[in-house]
Amino acid sequence: MSQVKQEKATEVPGGPPMEDPLPVTGTNESKTVAEAITPTPTTLAPSPEAIDKGNMETNNKVQKLEMTPTTPTTPIPESKTTESKTTTKASPISPSSLSIMERAAAAKEQQRQYLAAKGEQISEGKKSGEGKNNFGGSGPPKGMPPPPGKWGGSGPPPKNETAKQKRDRQRREQDAKRLRQSSKFASKRPVSASRKGVIGETKEEKLKRRQDALDEKKKQRMSRFSPAQQKLLKRGKQSRDYWSKQKPSKKENEEKSEREKKEKEKNDAVKNKNNNNGSTKNGNGKTDMNDIWRACETGDVKFIKSHVQHSRWDVRRHHDRGPKGFGATPLHKACWGCHPLLVQWLLEHVERKYGKDELLKYVNCIDSQASKVTPLLEACRTKVGFMKDRLNVLNMLLKNGANLRSKDVHGDNCLHWAARTGSLPVVRFLLKMTEGAVWASMDENILRKRPIDLALEQCCDRVKIMTKNESDDTADVRVENVPSSEPLITVAMDDLFPLPLHGTDENIMLLATHRAYARDAVYAQLLRLVQGSNVRLKIQRNRERRENDKKRRILKIQSERENIIELARSTCMDAEAEWIRQRESATTVRQLAEDAFVQQIMNKEIVEATSFLDSTEGKREYKKRATEIQNRRKEHALSKGLPKPKRLPAREANALAKKELINERAESARKQGIRDFRRKNTHKFE
């Protein structure tokens, strides 16, 4: 039979016709499957070299043959009958030899023995899993080593390999290595003692057994620590357990967040309603503090007045809460915004309600220790509002005792700030309308600069006079720090000001550039003040001396008046004490006289009562009283449940009756004597 007919199809007993025979690698000739798996006299198993190289195609064919059921052969169409017969005749398998299934099983058994000798094992697997790797892809069956160079094998890398291909190959090799390790040790993995089941145990016993196993593991782990370390670990565990119990649960947190959300929505609704109605009250019915401070900044006198009158709010309060609170009082904010009406009302309200001493403290109070800014400094350094309003605010503050020499935390007073801002009207007002401006102009800040030094830095250029032209009253000057090659500048002598510093060259002066006339004028005002400060200082010192003498005289008069008042107070106290003593002694004398008068009346009445009882009418009276005494004794015994008392003798009963009658007459005489005595002698000693 020709070779072409043998390659077309090969009929396998008990299975479908197979396609082209699979060549076996490592041989020079192409053999059929039957020839490849037919046992030879030397060995029945494949060569070790073929198995090590991972010839998985042959193994797959063997597994397919093993899985094919041994059923009768299916009928072959007539068109292929001749070909099938010829193929069967051409098969090298003799009728007397073993069947293909038996030979395949024998080959597989010897292959398993060979792999077991190397320490590996072929996994039987399910039919659905054969021919696939552990990752679901097409690859070697589970338990079989992958062929080299394929599915992550250890074959040589291909030539002209890119970086991406190299990364993919390395990843496949790592996956294959893990696959081999997992298939090698899967059957040798020990089972945990806590997971070994016991026949017939309940769920509680199972949980207890697992908990005991966990405790044993923890005990083994703790045994490697020292006793001190074990104690610390135990204490830390107790702390964690405690705080985990204290921590609110997820349900509690959700409920809390839900309550906060509802409360916030409610407050927002109330706030929106109030805003729509034009009200300035929050959800609690109180005025919002932000609205109060905003009204102070905008100068809303009506709102501040109504709020202070209705809620009794203290205007001396500092705004030290919230992100915008820096300790300023309403007066600070009103001075910064230049609101003269609000400043006037605040000063009048403090003086009317708290007095002049509190007004003086209020005018000179600082906002905080971090800045130490007073209302006067706020009015001098602000640029908000109109200049007329600013001057009115300054005038009111100075009239109510604002200190002109008060400094902030940087050592700047009101003249420092006026010179720095270049406010000419403020400087003129402070120099002309106040007497402490001379002292304030000589104060230095922490940088040892006076107000005139700050004005100098702000306005003028320092120049040197080269030549003077007296005919037209001009001069040729050169600005400092300018190259000598530059031409000279001709300026008017009126634009030149001498330096305030002593010991300098007379030709070095200051040139008013007129870029900012107000700043030049500020410097000129301060310069004239410094030049004529000696006379003003003498005048001011004499005035201060007179004021101090006047204050001393006033203090002396006040001290003398206080001494007189104290002497009068002590005399009054002594007189009052003497009057109380005399009154007590008079009361004692009166009481003694009253007692003697009453005793005399009582004795007289007792004598009369005794003589009355000796008469016939008196005898009838005390005998009648004796009978009443006997009856009272009987009634008393019956009410107490006692036995009936014996009847008193007549003589004893009569004696008791006489005694009662005499005591009654004496008591009535005593009361009448007291009334008579107090009617004649009054008890009021005032």
What pLDDT sits at residue 92? Answer: 44
pLDDT confidence of residue 137: 45
In a domain, 515, yes or no: no
Say which range, 62-66, 343-347, 547-551, has the weakest mean pLDDT: 62-66
In a domain, residue 413? The reply is no
What confidence score (pLDDT) does residue 457 get?
75
Report pLDDT for 500. Answer: 54
pLDDT at 35 over 50: no
- What value does the mean pLDDT take over residues 160-182? 82
The lowest-confidence range among 63-67, 111-115, 373-377 is 63-67
> Would you say residue 186 lies in a domain?
no
pLDDT greater than 60 at residue 615: yes
287 φ, ψ to 5°? -75, 135
- Helices 616-640 & 533-613 angle (0-180, nearest 10): 110
| Same structural domain, 150 and 289 | no
Give the residue with greater pLDDT, 73 vs 323.
Answer: 323
**pLDDT tens column, 238-276:** 888 888 777 777 888 888 888 888 888 877 776 665 444
pLDDT computed for residue 499 by the predictor: 65
pLDDT band at 642 (very low <50, low <70, confident <90, very high): confident
Lowest mean pLDDT among 29-43, 334-348, 594-608: 29-43
Tokens representing residue 644 in the block: 């009936």
Give residue 98's pLDDT band: very low, low, confident or very high (50, 70, 90): low
The rounded distance, in Å, linking the Cα atoms of 212 and 194 is 8
Alpha carbon 571 to chain centroid, angstroms: 63
Assess whether 7 and 151 both reside in one domain.
yes
Domain assignment of residue 532, yes or no: no
**Tens of pLDDT, residues 491-509:** 888 777 776 554 456 778 7
- Residue 270 has a pLDDT of 62
Q: Which of 155, 185, 202 is the last residue of a domain?
A: 155
Contact 405, 413 (CB under 8 A): yes
Distance of alpha carbon 530 from alpha carbon 216, whole angstroms: 94
Q: What is the largest CA-CA distance in the chain?
A: 188
| Residue 48 counted as domain residue | yes
pLDDT at 227: 86
Residue 644, in any domain of the structure: yes
Most confident of 31-35, 53-57, 141-145, 155-159: 155-159
- Report the pLDDT averaged over residues 106-119: 72
224 assigned to some structural domain:
no
Whether pLDDT at 53 is above 70: no
**Same domain, yes or no: 148 and 290:** no
**Number of structural domains found in the chain:** 3
CA pair distance 450, 456, nearest whole angstrom: 10
Judged by average pLDDT, the poorest of 24-38, 104-118, 451-465 is 24-38
| pLDDT of res. 308 | 87
The answer to whether the CB of 440 falls within 8 A of the CB of 448 is: no
Residues 330-386: tens digit of each pLDDT: 999 999 999 999 999 999 999 999 999 999 999 999 988 888 999 999 999 998 888
Q: Among 341, 369, 403, which residue terminates a domain?
A: 403
User: What are the phi and psi torsion angles at 350 (to 5°)?
Assistant: -65, -40
Is 60 exceeded by the pLDDT of residue 19?
no
Q: What is the mean pLDDT of residues 292-301?
A: 87
- Asked if pLDDT for residue 196 goes beyond 60, the answer is no
Hey, what amino acid is at 453? D
What is the spatial distance between Cα 591 and Cα 585, in angstroms, rounded to a whole number?
A: 10
Q: Give the residue, 78 or 290, on which the prediction is more confident.
A: 290
- Opening angle at CA 233, ends 227 and 235, nearest 5: 105
Task: Find the DSSP H helices in 2-80.
Answer: 3-8, 33-37, 48-52, 56-67
Indicate whether 54 belongs to any domain. yes
Q: Which domain holds residue 66?
A: 3-72+79-155
* 116 class by beta-carbon count within 10 Å (0-12 exposed, 13-18 middle, 19+ buried): exposed
Among the residue ranges 177-186, 229-238, 239-248, 603-612, the one predicted with the least confidence is 177-186
Arithmetic mean of pLDDT, 627-653 = 88
Whole-number average pLDDT of the chain: 75
Q: Residue 287's pLDDT is what?
A: 55
Higher pLDDT, 220 or 55: 220
Helical spans, DSSP H, in 480-615: 517-531, 533-613
Q: Is the pLDDT of residue 510 over 50?
A: yes
Contacts of 525 (CB under 8 A, 6+ apart): 424, 427, 428, 431
pLDDT bucket at 431, cuts 50 / 70 / 90:
confident
**DSSP for 398-459?**
HHTT--TT---TTS--HHHHHHHHT-HHHHHHHHHH-STHHHHHH---TT---HHHHHHHHH
Q: Which two tokens stand for residue 6?
A: 């043998």
In our burial notation (b when 16+ CB lie closer than 10 A, e otherwise), range 575-607 reads: eeeeeeeeeeeeeeebeeebeebbeebbeebee
Domain boundary residue, one of 354, 383, 403: 403
Max avg pLDDT among 5-9, 22-26, 355-359, 508-512? 355-359
Model confidence at 572: pLDDT above 90: yes
| Token pair of 218 as six digits | 């923890």
